[in-house]
Structure 1
Amino acid sequence: MTTRKPVHLAVYDTFADWETGHATAHLAQAGFEVRTVGPTREPVTSMGGLRVLPDLALDELRPEDSSLLILVGAGLWDTGDSLAPFARAARAFLDAGVPVAAICGATAGLAREGLLDNRAHTSAAPFYLAATGYAGGERYADVDAVTDGGLVTAGPTEPVAFAREIFRLLGAYDDKATDAWYRLFHDSDPQAYAELEEALAR
């Protein structure tokens, strides 16, 4: 069995707790180690008041050691440039052929970095990204989540669709399991639970 490289979850003060829980919990169940990356190794505090001690600092992170970089939304994305180093890290990952997933405010950080100019993408709303002055407005898609060129994007109300795109990108589950998982957690489809259990048992 091929050893899977860790998935790296970026954490910083004001990060939005709810946006990546589906993705990280089910990636861990699929056999991926999830490691947190902070601006430093000092604790950070989420929007919900949770204190997280990062596993490593951003300057220790290397694309070749990772399966995926997840950038979560945070109030800090919209109040200055303190998180810009994480957008630059996303560029390094994509340049190295390692995927990135960004949700909510993190999409604005990537827009400022120029990473959405030539990729199909989505976010909270078109005007939200337009305020960054980026050049990719024509590539904006009004859908739950988008994957293009190794980059997943989603808005803040779509953590389940965001997770589904990540599972597909990493091959975490087969198509039947992913479809059943989405119908269970997004649509509350009662039949999907049994289908998911059956798919995971194969």
Structure 2
Amino acid sequence: MTRIAIALQNDFADWEPALLMAAARYYLDCDVVTASPDGAPVVSMGGLKVTPDIGYDAISADAFDALVIPGGYAWEKGVAYDFTALATAFRDQGKVLGGICAAASALAATGVLNTVAHTGNALASHQRYPTYQGAAHYVDQAPAVRDGGIVTAAGSSPDTFAIEVLKALDLYGPEAEAELSTFAAEHRG
């Protein structure tokens, strides 16, 4: 069974991982595990109170197939978790690593985006971090970008982000496509 860790923290953007979590758990029978820095409850930007399954210390690339980090206001408040060790471990073990919105910039801060195609809310957000040296690989105005097992997206693209994470996990088939395409229908001209 595919195991996906969703790394939540206070003020996470609740809509960003929601479609992925629902599709993976309900339609694809994945084990979707929520985590917070210390395993304590967190509150999303929308006020959703989540009691996570585990703390970040229980997340390892040996135990999970993917680490997905939603964005949110923790970075703007200066209280976000430093994902460098986790992101590097997942990348180094060839596991799926996903960051959307501010979390894409958090991945930029870890250096894991320096040599792969990626996107996010804006290149300038990534460039705030001195360890980020991947501007040549930034894909501007893409809803989501997947390069190997690394998936990034703008905060406005939770559906495309979910699709690309599932593709990276080799789980995007007819069931996932049928479910997620209904959400993307809103954006068709």
TM-score by length of 2: 0.90
The whole-number CA distance in structure 2 between the counterparts of 1:70 and 1:41 is: 16
Give, in angstroms, the shift of residue 177 of structure 1. 4.6
Amino acid in structure 1 at the alignment position of 2:183: F
Q: Which amino acid in structure 2 is aligned with residue 70 of structure 1?
A: V
Counterpart secondary structure, 1:20: helix
| Partner of residue 110, structure 1 | 107
**Structure with a larger share of its residues in helix:** 1
Find the counterpart in structure 2 of residue 200 from structure 1.
none
Query: Which one-letter code corresponds to 1:14 in the other structure?
Result: D
SS at match of 2:20: helix
- What is the 5 A alignment of 1:45-194? 45-80=43-78, 82-84=80-82, 86-133=83-130, 134-142=132-140, 143-174=142-173, 176-188=174-186
Mean Cα deviation higher: 72-81 or 137-146: 72-81
Report which stretch shifted further, 48-57 or 164-173: 164-173
Query: For residues 45 and 75 of structure 2, what CA distance do their matches in structure 1 show?
Result: 13
Distance 1:11 1:110 in 2: 15
Q: What number of residue pairs does the alignment pair up?
A: 185
Is residue 13–residue 45 contact of structure 1 (8 Å, CA) maintained in 2? yes
Shift of the 137–33 alpha-carbon distance from structure 1 to 2, 3 Å rule, reads same
Question: In the alignment, what sits opposite 2:19?
Answer: 22
Could you tell me which runs of 5 or more consecutive residues in structure 2 were left unpaired when the two chains were aligned.
none
- Write the letter of the residue equivalent to 2:14: D
Task: Report deviation, 1:88.
Answer: 2.3
Check conservation: 1:77, 1:108, Cα contact below 8 A. Answer: no
Give the deviation of 1:50 after TM superposition: 1.2
3-state DSSP of counterpart to 2:145: strand
Please say which structure displays the higher CA radius of gyration: 1
Which protein has greater RCO, CA pairs closer than 8 Å, 6+ apart?
Answer: 2
TM-score scaled by length of structure 1: 0.84
Deviations 1:102-147 (A, max 9, x none): 1001111111111111110000112222222421111110211111
Identity %: 34
**Change in CA separation of 1:130 and 1:40 when aligned onto 2, cut-off 3 Å:** same
State the superposition RMSD in angstroms.
1.9
**Residues 144 and 158, structure 1, Cα contact 8 Å, conserved in 2:** yes
Pairwise CA distance, 1:94:
1.0
Aligned equivalents of 2:23, 2:40: Cα separation in 1: 26
Shift of 1:81: 5.7
Runs of 4+ aligned residues of structure 1 deviating over 4 Å after TM superposition are: 176-182
Contact 2:69 2:98 in 1 (8 A): yes
Secondary structure (helix, strand or coil) at the match of 1:107 reads: helix
